[in-house]
Amino acid sequence: MPDNGLHGKESGRVEEISELITDIDEDGTLEAVRVSLGGGTDPLVIVEQLRDGMGEVGVRFEAGDYFLPDLIMSSEIFRGAIALIEPHLSGELAQTRGDIVLGTVKGDIHDIGKDIVGTMLRVSGYQVHDVGVDQPAEVFVSKARETGAKLVGLSGLLTVAFDSMKETVEAFAAAGMRDSVKIAIGGGPVNQSVVEYTGADAYGKDPAEAIRLAERFVS
């Protein structure tokens, strides 16, 4: 394992976690999380450090400094870190803040962004129902009806996904559920113009914005 200066609880500062995951240092990140948990650090503080680091990874990806393999690896590190943290959050997450349906729309199979958002929403206390990728409109409508979810998140990285998002929004209207369900969309090419085209309620440009939308529409 690389020498990250993490040789004990006192040297394993929680502040290092953000930098370690930003640097795509799997061993260092997981060790820092273990040390911080062992030292009694609030698990939610650790989660925030991980979120900050993932945000910086996204910035570097957009700037062309990082590439898709870096994005995938950072996502895997994030999941591994959350797996370590979740047992320490069980009490705090016992009361769910609400149900959210999440998935990638028909015609698109990308799941990295969706999975990161789903993990962060779960850690933030929401019950996430992930329907997977390449899913038609009726799957989202059925799952929202089944769970009573107030928010549905539609993900898509390809521009061809925009029509599927629009069809899904229209399917909720046809099912008589549009007034009771908010629909947020997300993905690399998504912006306000796509919101207007699809008829969605909002878009999340990053996982942090997704959390804010959940707090706005669900909590």
- Dist. CA 30–CA 81, nearest whole Å: 6
Same domain, 137 and 212: yes
The pLDDT of residue 61 is 81
Residue 130 lies in a domain: yes
Of 126, 110, 97, the residue nearest 71 (C-alpha): 110
Same domain, 37 and 124: no
Structure tokens at 73: 């690896």
Same domain, 67 and 125: no
Of 60, 164, 77, the residue nearest 116 (C-alpha): 77
The pLDDT of residue 90 is 55
Same domain, 126 and 54: no
The pLDDT of residue 86 is 81
Domains: count for the chain: 2
Structure tokens at 44: 């939610």
* Segments forming the whole domain that contains residue 44: 16-88
CATH number for the domain that contains residue 195 = 3.40.50.280
Residue 32 lies in a domain: yes
The pLDDT of residue 183 is 98
Same domain, 115 and 190: yes
- Dist. CA 181–CA 217, nearest whole Å: 9
Please state the φ and ψ torsions of residue 28, each to the nearest 5 degrees.
-65, -40
CATH number for the domain that contains residue 28 = 1.10.1240.10
How confident is the prediction along the chain (219 residues), in pLDDT tens digits per residue? 344 444 333 335 788 999 999 999 999 999 999 999 999 998 878 988 987 888 788 788 878 899 878 878 988 898 899 889 888 875 554 457 899 999 999 999 988 789 878 877 886 779 999 999 999 999 999 999 999 999 999 999 889 999 999 999 999 999 999 999 999 999 889 999 999 999 999 999 877 788 899 999 997
Residue 54 lies in a domain: yes
